[in-house]
Structure 1
């Protein structure tokens, strides 16, 4: 093997032994206050299975009165001290259950003015009307236990009703700003109670006009805070964070290094009279009107009119500017206050806001029941500026937008990549919290590899459990078993998790020294999102561009308007957020902050760059800096970004020195990174069921290396300008290419395939002995069907298949297990031959002498068949378990 110096292998040290920043992290769900023995045993277990960081999270099964109690804080101190002993890192998950800011209700206790206050409205022809039927849809969908947690005694009640604005305007649309009459002083509350209010206008509503009244009210029972108030964030810190950090100062920052916030957002209320452009109530504070007036140049009443009615040519501008002021106030009040505290405390700030695109590629394809503009859920670039590390949220085990957008906002703020929290929601039942106890390690591994390719540095699992809950109780949340399952440490395949964790950490470390080769920048349409709302086509167009480019193997990043406007143009490329792009996409963009970005895009186009657009075109600049128009300088425009259209565009992009040519029907996942000295790093992952391969074509002959994320080894390959790479099902490969091949001559090379049969193989079919645990009485079982079909319907655990085999030829033997569910270890004559948590299940048995040998195959399934038993979550299906096809012995090297 060729030896190279450390200088020639940047990142070799972190690849061989990845630091905590690359290792998987997890929420540690506390369902009750644990004792020291529980803390010690579970933390040691988490470390043994490859986790590097834990975040303690009190869940709904824990009484809220226990949260931050003296016993809770003492247990917290104990856990962090044990983590330090074990060289684990820890972060403060900053609240009870989730929705940061309430501190388990302590923030608003005896501070009622900090409870969420909302703005509601009603429009109609009558001089009297009401606000009634207020409901929190986002909470209702989670069930009564969530309602009881977020609202005292589970009651949604309101108080302190106040008219904030009232206007008369023509019913015909669009309205004209000059025709809007402010009648706030002539409109009064006439009655109110905990459910709503009635109000009246002193005058008469003229024919053809509508009276629109905006009324604020404070929740009398909500534990959620008013995120517009910096004092609410300060109180949250005082009662929620300081009590945790103060006793743990000795562990800051070496063990306890960061605080993690989770989905800070108020109630997303709807009500009977809601109408207009905004889908949920707005938070309100007395400072909001002046902030809106300063941003829009209009009175608060007229600015509000744009949210309910059209106001002519200024509608889009006013809506965008209104939400710009609103979002800035939210960001500064909550995230800014948290960031100041973190800087004083000496820890980092991270976490994630609500992501309306979770589990989707469309910008608003996840939480479709909410209008994200009313929460910190649109201005991702602005929010990220307050963080020290970027984190995002992912739901279920499919490719999705979150990690790509997270990596993009991190790069815009001078960092790179992100942490991705993954939670599972149920697929078998409408009760989403029942989760997926049917999750396999193979599914989790594939998901995490894809996340890495999309921009993730560290995976955060949601979560590892303190307890597995109670049998025969389907109650969500309060039975920990169905609190966004699975708690993977209670999965039978859990002992194999360390194999995956080591591989994931090394994959992340391998990618670290390189920048992604992403030729396409997608313009993040912030002002369009504010002006047009979540149902506008920009959301789906973003998703279509993302999915199409990925399908074509063309990487991309999102870029903010300010970064594009300031981007340096040269040689047909535009440099923004630390990367250089050959093309810029505007996905149905209608509203811009200013025309500066259009001017720079025109320079880019004239310099040979590509400007692609789809759907609607820009028509409004909120801050036009001169008299120029909003004409988009495109090189190609489409009505909708179809795969055929995108393929034509991508084929025209310049070749930047490395191409991957597919030689298999299903394209593998790929990631290409450029090193500063001209080298390349390539990740290939075949997440399909069939083997395949691809060719890596280099611009010139280069030195080649294969870095194994499974064991940390690095092997030098032959110098070449083209490398053929075979990919087995589920195979992950990491390859590095360096300038300076010996002689610089062109040559083709190939990575050898796994050993194949040498003409001798034996199918081990028929009946095997089977036991549910080591040493237990055995029964006879077929390997053609899972054990769930053969008398073990509800058994979740490790089943052991064993039999004697006759070896008739001395030599090197291999065992192939074609179908197993879901993790496998193999022993021959008591000797461990290997452990696999995902396909291919292939085990080197070593040299076997002619004669009789005892073969043992241990298979661990999922917990679903046991935990879903006697619950409505079982459905009409059971998880396949154990062996479902006969294993095969293969002679790969016969002794002469």
Structure 2
């Protein structure tokens, strides 16, 4: 097969397609560290960097003159090396506090919360207590997190205020004179309710507000807080990074407090955390009766009012914080990006990742509204399995006339059964590659790595607030395999550039159930159903876009199609949707169904609207166990499909006769993919993302299927075009002549060095080096085998096959470099040998062997394994790995 060089935009992708990375500063680096780090980032193939101060850095260093001077140096160095900069806007995260600078000398901007409690009247009186106000959300950060969030490390409360109270069952409010404080202190308050006209056992509730006097967090309801944040944080950072393309906000955080007396024996648990509070909410449509329903109500009327409360509440937060940031950025000619709290992170179900909190109380949940303030879309992804983040991000962008997104990829220890902050120092380059490819295929333009570390981060200073070694590890650049990362990052950047043009072929819309989320108690059914649909559609190869209700307007339906900014859809899926906001939406969906559109639903037979429960649509319901079956029965086989599941395929239409196709074998087994026959003659041209060349085109006759053979974790990208002739193309061959079988096992005679300077020792190749005396070694393991009197059996090429490896591997034969692999299986074509072969393998493992034992973390040899795990062999023909 001949190869042809492809366009420059594919060979050398622009920075917008290249991997980005947070650069963690656990202390102020030296100028020389900065120079070396930026040069290494360029060598690795990164496109964009974001400096981020971490908890190990003393707060006094953040935004200090020395800090800003180093930022200016990094800005200059990045420009010199052709890297772009985005400005991470926080110390740690929780955008808005600015390391405490926003609320410094401005106590009225500190977080202020609404608390409630209830009880039964006896003889016209009841005494109610709010105490033990606590947030467990940050407990995984330990004492360092408390010191970061609070002056003195503990929350102290004051400026107590009675907001109102009332009778739970009737929405009747009490007079202000009937509610008084009998005690207030830094830990809570005691409230006395006097209502002599009410009978015994009347259930009453009270709402009080207080400010956390020691908190560095802001009240996101106040535009002044965001204005002060921009003045104290954005302005100096933009001056230090004058050519940055955007500011990046991260996870604005609303406290998530719980307290003793929160439920007071009531059955309702409608809102699980305190709300941020400002009296201005009382002038925007929220009153005490609404709060009674929102917190304690259980009927449909109460659910509607709860949705009203959260709509008003979130709109004020979004406008006050994100709106203020966006106006500042527009005025200073810089973009605004970043991501809010995403409780689905790490999975598919909408509340499945952070189910212990009530995400409605934070700036978020209405992701489509939040995205309207951004100039670029970013979502958050946790750990290394398929999840919702990328397709959601792309859907948000398309709803606002943009395309694709950045996905922040971070690592927790939870995936491996260890504490979150311990992270994944055992992350392999193969697992990282697979996750990055998944993100790109599902709608990401690039991945943002979390994170690069300073070189001395693995040598902690005991005086630090936190141990940088276990700050969401890994520090990717400290992994032994980082030297092998450039080829991977180049491959992924080319994949992204390849998929930039054209329009994704998606005719299915998955409805985002915002109203159900707003109305619901605990975790509503829609959160689970949405995730089941999203995952099952993706695995079945049915491409889809997530849409929100605001996109469905009167003019969007035509002959059974929804014509939206984000695409054209003949199928709409309602995942356990019981309610929409606008009754007009129900009419539009009814018209869509009646004119030929396909309306699928699960979990709820009836959908009503928030403020008109008499309006409804009904339809057949699918149970959760039937979703996968229904998808298979409803949608025809795709143009290109992989045998079995999951499907990892995306198609981009450039013209009616030209498609771009990317396909990824997301498994450890060889698989085949079938291109369905078509009435036209077609040409299949492979663009190699790993080498930036095009293979000789393949001619596919009309009415002929074509089969692709995919190695484990193989990525293939093609242009498929319709043609009327087949000049200079290779036709599909039904039969291939194979050489006589030959296989030589190489199970004996290997020697091993734990690094280039160590003494060579014999080693077995059936198990990792940890089981052979090198359990604490991280670095380059060198395997060497001498073959004398080697007799070549045929003239056909021979392959060195490595059936199972843990780590990246480079092959040298007789002193010559042959190639490398990042996967856990590999095959290399051997050069024409003499009678003597000297085979050398350099295997880069992870740094887990060095770091985790230092924390007394037991290492399972089935997981923490490095090197050759099955005997290599020499084989002829196509390298099939068994």
TM category, shorter: over 0.9
1:734 correspondence with 2:734: no
2:10–2:494 CA contact under 8 A, matched in 1? yes
Alignment counterpart, residue 44 of structure 1, candidates 14, 39, 42: 39
SS in 2 for 1:271: strand
Change (3 A) 1:660 1:383: same
Give 1:675 shift. 2.4
1:695 correspondence with 2:678: no
SS in 2 for 1:452: helix
Equivalence for 2:119: 124
Give 1:329 shift. 0.3
Give 1:563 shift. 0.9
Give 1:747 shift. 12
- How many residues are treated as equivalent by the alignment? 858
1:641 correspondence with 2:634: no
Give 1:605 shift. 1.1
Equivalence for 1:402: 389
Q: Name the CA distance, whole Å, in 2 between partners of 1:645 and 1:331.
A: 35
Q: Name the CA distance, whole Å, in 2 between partners of 1:163 and 1:63.
A: 38
Stretch moving more, 102-111 or 180-189: 180-189
1:167–1:184 CA contact under 8 A, matched in 2? no
Equivalence for 2:347: 360
Stretch moving more, 96-105 or 470-479: 470-479
Change (3 A) 1:700 1:622: same
Equivalence for 2:438: 450
1:83 correspondence with 2:78: yes
SS in 2 for 1:814: strand
Equivalence for 2:338: 351
Equivalence for 1:138: 137
1:461-472 → structure 2 map (5 Å cutoff): 461-470=449-458
Equivalence for 1:102: 97
1:683–1:732 CA contact under 8 A, matched in 2? yes
Equivalence for 1:763: 745
1:55 correspondence with 2:50: yes
Give 1:114 shift. 0.6
Give 1:840 shift. 3.5
Deviations 1:164-213 (A, max 9, x none): 111124xxxxx344xx1332342122211110111112433532422211
1:434–1:476 CA contact under 8 A, matched in 2? no
1:223 correspondence with 2:206: no
Change (3 A) 1:410 1:147: same
SS in 1 for 2:523: coil
1:786 correspondence with 2:768: yes
Equivalence for 2:610: 622
Alignment counterpart, residue 174 of structure 2, candidates 177, 182, 194: 182
SS in 1 for 2:38: helix
Equivalence for 1:860: 844
Give 1:633 shift. 5.2
2:421–2:471 CA contact under 8 A, matched in 1? yes
Give 1:75 shift. 0.8
Change (3 A) 1:339 1:678: farther
1:433 correspondence with 2:415: no
1:417 correspondence with 2:404: yes
Equivalence for 2:30: 35
Alignment counterpart, residue 874 of structure 2, candidates 889, 892, 896: 889
Change (3 A) 1:3 1:846: closer
Change (3 A) 1:568 1:154: same
Equivalence for 2:308: 321
Give 1:431 shift. 1.8
SS in 2 for 1:239: helix
Give 1:668 shift. 4.0
Give 1:43 shift. 1.2
Give 1:629 shift. 4.3
Stretch moving more, 305-314 or 763-772: 305-314
SS in 2 for 1:547: helix
Deviations 1:803-847 (A, max 9, x none): 222332285432111121110001112110001111441122322
Deviations 1:641-669 (A, max 9, x none): 33x454345433468xx52244x344441
Equivalence for 1:821: 806
Change (3 A) 1:141 1:854: closer
Equivalence for 2:567: 579
TM-score computed with the length of structure 1 as normaliser: 0.91
Stretch moving more, 867-876 or 416-425: 867-876
Give 1:572 shift. 3.0
Equivalence for 1:685: 664
Change (3 A) 1:821 1:185: same
Equivalence for 1:111: 106
Q: Name the CA distance, whole Å, in 2 between partners of 1:757 and 1:193.
A: 86
Q: Name the CA distance, whole Å, in 1 between partners of 2:799 and 2:442.
A: 36
1:365-764 → structure 2 map (5 Å cutoff): 365-427=352-414, 428-470=416-458, 478-566=466-554, 568-618=556-606, 620-623=608-611, 629-632=614-617, 634=619, 636-638=620-622, 640-642=623-625, 644-653=626-635, 659-662=639-642, 664-701=643-680, 702-715=682-695, 716-721=697-702, 722-742=705-725, 749=732, 758-764=740-746
Equivalence for 1:150: 149
Give 1:785 shift. 2.0
Q: Name the CA distance, whole Å, in 2 between partners of 1:268 and 1:614.
A: 31
Q: Name the CA distance, whole Å, in 2 between partners of 1:476 and 1:599.
A: 60
Change (3 A) 1:823 1:774: same
Q: Name the CA distance, whole Å, in 2 between partners of 1:247 and 1:29.
A: 17
Give 1:456 shift. 1.1
Q: Name the CA distance, whole Å, in 2 between partners of 1:513 and 1:836.
A: 29
Equivalence for 2:230: 237
Q: Name the CA distance, whole Å, in 2 between partners of 1:289 and 1:617.
A: 36
1:704–1:720 CA contact under 8 A, matched in 2? no
Change (3 A) 1:654 1:435: closer
2:512–2:548 CA contact under 8 A, matched in 1? yes
Equivalence for 2:65: 70
Equivalence for 1:161: 160
Q: Name the CA distance, whole Å, in 2 between partners of 1:183 and 1:314.
A: 23
Give 1:472 shift. 9.1
Give 1:720 shift. 3.8
Give 1:681 shift. 2.0
SS in 2 for 1:513: coil
Change (3 A) 1:868 1:649: closer
Q: Name the CA distance, whole Å, in 2 between partners of 1:138 and 1:567.
A: 44
Q: Name the CA distance, whole Å, in 2 between partners of 1:133 and 1:47.
A: 51
Q: Name the CA distance, whole Å, in 1 between partners of 2:627 and 2:298.
A: 37
1:286 correspondence with 2:285: no
1:805 correspondence with 2:794: no
Q: Name the CA distance, whole Å, in 2 between partners of 1:17 and 1:191.
A: 68
Give 1:784 shift. 2.0
Change (3 A) 1:633 1:700: farther
Equivalence for 1:172: none
SS in 2 for 1:695: strand
Stretch moving more, 609-618 or 132-141: 609-618
Q: Name the CA distance, whole Å, in 2 between partners of 1:315 and 1:498.
A: 56
Equivalence for 2:187: 195
Q: Name the CA distance, whole Å, in 2 between partners of 1:751 and 1:356.
A: 50
- Backbone CA RMSD of aligned residues: 2.6
Equivalence for 1:297: none
Change (3 A) 1:607 1:271: same
Change (3 A) 1:619 1:237: same
SS in 2 for 1:604: helix
Q: List alignment gaps of at least 5 residues for structure 2.
A: none
1:693–1:724 CA contact under 8 A, matched in 2? yes
